[in-house]
Amino acid sequence: MNNSGESHSWMTYVEIPDLGSHDAKQTFTVSFGNSEGIISTNCSCCIYPFQFQFTVDWSYTGSECTERNVGAEVVDWKDENFNSDTLPHDLSAVLISLDQLRISKVNEATFSKWHLDTLSNEIDLFRDLLSDGSCKIANLTLARLLIAKDMVSHGFPVTGKRIHSQEVLDLFGGLMKMDPPHSQYYKDEHSLVLMDQITSDKEKLRKRCSHYRTPSSSSHAQYVCLRLNRLSLSRIGFFERLLWVQMLDLSHNDVRSIEGLEAMQLLCCLNLSNNKIRSFSALGPVRLIKSLRVLDISNNEIGAHSTDSTRYAWPSPLSHNTEEYMKDVEQTAHWEAILLFKGLILTQLDVKGNAIADESLQALLPRVLPTLKWLDRVEL
């Protein structure tokens, strides 16, 4: 859910009684419709029935993210601890499972040949225009038209090949050089196209998955980590396609905001190190992820900037929620950290490499997070 009240995903729990009588695998169907409380961005109510199926494998023995197996040892995000050669054979089934979440075909939006022909003609027109010289407006318009054609051609599927993705990426890459004053906007759009390209293609997504395992580790041995690190991402999205992820590595990017990450309610280990996060308030979505146990926000820009444009979204430091910590005058400088971390059940936290990570913060965090076992890789 974002600040405008829009949501890309909804979460609920399905109770399945009498587990002992089930076969090894069972298929379940979930359906709902005429849900007036769900309104689209164009103010239309959800009046069409939705239906999807999923299969439960009762014999699955993979590790779950629990307090017993997270926190027993420090999670080390070094490359040598991730192995893509030992991924389970049934991983592809997990990656494409969300492709089943479709509105019934009878209600799917249909696009006429006229729509596709119109888009194709416009694309050809702007390509001809660019053949005579560079123009940032023409490049931007062409990129948007190509994105639209991919979406229309495939009927907005969760998974499906994006035919024009690479061309769009090249266009936004060129715009960053052509129009430096607006380079951040182009970089954000480039990042979203790249995220869409990866998350909509199960083979590309699988290549980004690895098993986490250290020489002395056993408790995390079954965890599959999605590694979206070192992609120069400045903006992230499409979390509705990643609801199955338990470990996520977004390190060594240019991320400033994690808005939307709260949809990933199974997430237990998150690496945001070496990004451009400017404040604790920009990390607000992690408060809504109750399963989160390991968080790495080291080597960001927290405390390095005097102006925090996201602070308006947070309560006042004079709130009674922080009163018990404000008795110590030195801790008033860290009220954002208190508001962020209070109530979380983290067992491991890394904050070193940020301007705000001084001795007073180091002393404060174990008080705010009584479950913390590892702070900056040092056992408490």
Give the per-residue pLDDT at 262.
Answer: 92
Under DSSP, the state recorded for 193 is H
* Rounded-to-integer distance, Cα 99 and Cα 291, Å: 25
Domain boundaries, the chain: 1-60, 72-98+211-379, 110-157+160-199
Higher-scoring residue by pLDDT: 318, 338: 338
Mean pLDDT of 17-41: 67
Residue 379 has pLDDT above 60, yes or no: yes
Q: What is the pLDDT of residues 167-203, one digit of tens each?
A: 999 999 999 999 999 999 999 999 999 999 999 888 8
Give the per-residue pLDDT at 257.
Answer: 95
* Rounded-to-integer distance, Cα 161 and Cα 181, Å: 32
Under DSSP, the state recorded for 230 is S
Q: What band does 309 get if pLDDT is binned at 50, 70 and 90?
A: very low
With b for 16 or more beta-carbon neighbours within 10 A and e for fewer, the 75-88 pattern comes to: bebeeebbeeeeee
Mean pLDDT of 290-306: 92
* Rounded-to-integer distance, Cα 231 and Cα 234, Å: 9
* Rounded-to-integer distance, Cα 282 and Cα 300, Å: 12
Higher-scoring residue by pLDDT: 17, 143: 143
Give the amino acid at 230: R
Q: For residues 198 and 219, is the Cβ–Cβ distance under 8 A?
A: no
Mean pLDDT of 364-379: 95
The helix (run of H) or strand (run of E) holding residue 25 is strand 25-32
Let me know if 292 is exposed, middle or buried by CB neighbors in 10 A (0-12, 13-18, 19+).
buried
* List of residues 6+ apart from 239 with CB closer than 8 A: 8, 9, 260, 261, 263, 264
Give the per-residue pLDDT at 11.
Answer: 65
Let me know if 221 is exposed, middle or buried by CB neighbors in 10 A (0-12, 13-18, 19+).
middle
* Rounded-to-integer distance, Cα 338 and Cα 369, Å: 9
Give the per-residue pLDDT at 56.
Answer: 72
Residue 150 has pLDDT above 70, yes or no: yes
Cβ neighbours around 306 below 10 Å, total: 5
Angle between helical axes of 136-154 and 165-178 (0-180°, round to 10): 160
Q: Which of 190, 187, 188, 206 is nearest to 198 (CA)?
A: 206
Q: Write out the CATH class of domain 72-98+211-379.
A: alpha beta
Residue 276 has pLDDT above 50, yes or no: yes
Q: For residues 286 and 340, is the Cβ–Cβ distance under 8 A?
A: yes
Q: What band does 103 get if pLDDT is binned at 50, 70 and 90?
A: very low
Higher-scoring residue by pLDDT: 112, 309: 112
Residue 231 has pLDDT above 70, yes or no: yes
The torsion angles phi and psi of 225, rounded to 5 degrees, stand at -105, 130
Residue 310 has pLDDT above 60, yes or no: no
* Rounded-to-integer distance, Cα 244 and Cα 64, Å: 12
State the pTM of this model. Answer: 0.80
The helix (run of H) or strand (run of E) holding residue 298 is none
Higher-scoring residue by pLDDT: 253, 1: 253
Under DSSP, the state recorded for 43 is S
What length is written for the chain?
A: 380
Percent of the chain past pLDDT 70, that is, above it, reads 66
Mean pLDDT of 267-277: 97
Give the per-residue pLDDT at 83.
Answer: 87
Give the amino acid at 372: L
Under DSSP, the state recorded for 285 is G
Give the per-residue pLDDT at 315.
Answer: 46
